[in-house]
């Protein structure tokens, strides 16, 4: 189970990712419009213990296709290690629907509201 809160009108959760100097806590915006697993800006990715996977074209919200690097990290998800794709993208760290798939997402859509992600 993952808990979070709505802050600045966005549902947010904290996840711990592996870093070369130890675990790194990152606050992610839960983005149901993002079809991937995770997205991180380059500045945060440099703090992670991540392996380059590939470069691919991604359809952006503005309808344009852009080429972006994809890395892989081992994420502890539901108390199990899970290989997770991380798209390198400027902006807020994002948690997308591919990672949430198979879970119940509950959002109290008000400032300070509770976020809950738990297995179905």
pLDDT of residue 114: 98
| Closest CA relative to residue 44, chosen from 67, 65, 14, 78 | 14
Q: What is the mean pLDDT of the chain?
A: 94
Say whether pTM exceeds 0.75.
yes
Amino acid 5: pLDDT: 98
Instruction: Between 48 and 95, name the one with better pLDDT.
Output: 95
Mean pLDDT along residues 106-119: 97
Query: 2-119: which CATH number, 2.40.70.10, 3.40.50.1950, 3.30.365.10, 1.20.120.1760?
Result: 2.40.70.10
Predicted confidence at residue 51, as pLDDT, reads: 86
pLDDT tens-digit series, residues 24-68: 999 999 999 999 999 999 999 998 888 899 999 998 888 999 999
3-class secondary-structure state, position 85: strand
Note the pLDDT of residue 78: 81
Q: So where are the chain's domains?
A: 2-119
- The DSSP output letter for 37 is S
Other CB atoms within 10 A of residue 31 CB: 19
Residue with tokens 């993208």: 89
Rounding to the nearest 10 degrees, give the CA dihedral for residues 35, 107, 89, 23: -110
């Amino acid at each position: 189970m993952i808990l979070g809160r709505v802050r600045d009108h966005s549902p947010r959760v904290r996840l711990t990712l592996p870093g070369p100097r130890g675990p790194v806590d990152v606050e992610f915006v839960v983005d149901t419009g993002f079809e991937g697993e995770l997205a991180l800006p380059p500045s945060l990715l440099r703090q992670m213990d991540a392996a380059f996977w590939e470069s691919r074209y991604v359809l952006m919200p503005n309808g344009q296709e852009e080429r972006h690097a994809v890395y892989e990290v081992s994420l502890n998800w539901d108390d199990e290690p899970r290989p997770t794709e991380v798209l390198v993208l400027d902006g807020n760290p994002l948690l997308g629907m591919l990672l949430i798939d198979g879970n119940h997402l509950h959002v109290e859509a008000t400032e300070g509201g509770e976020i809950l992600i738990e297995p179905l």
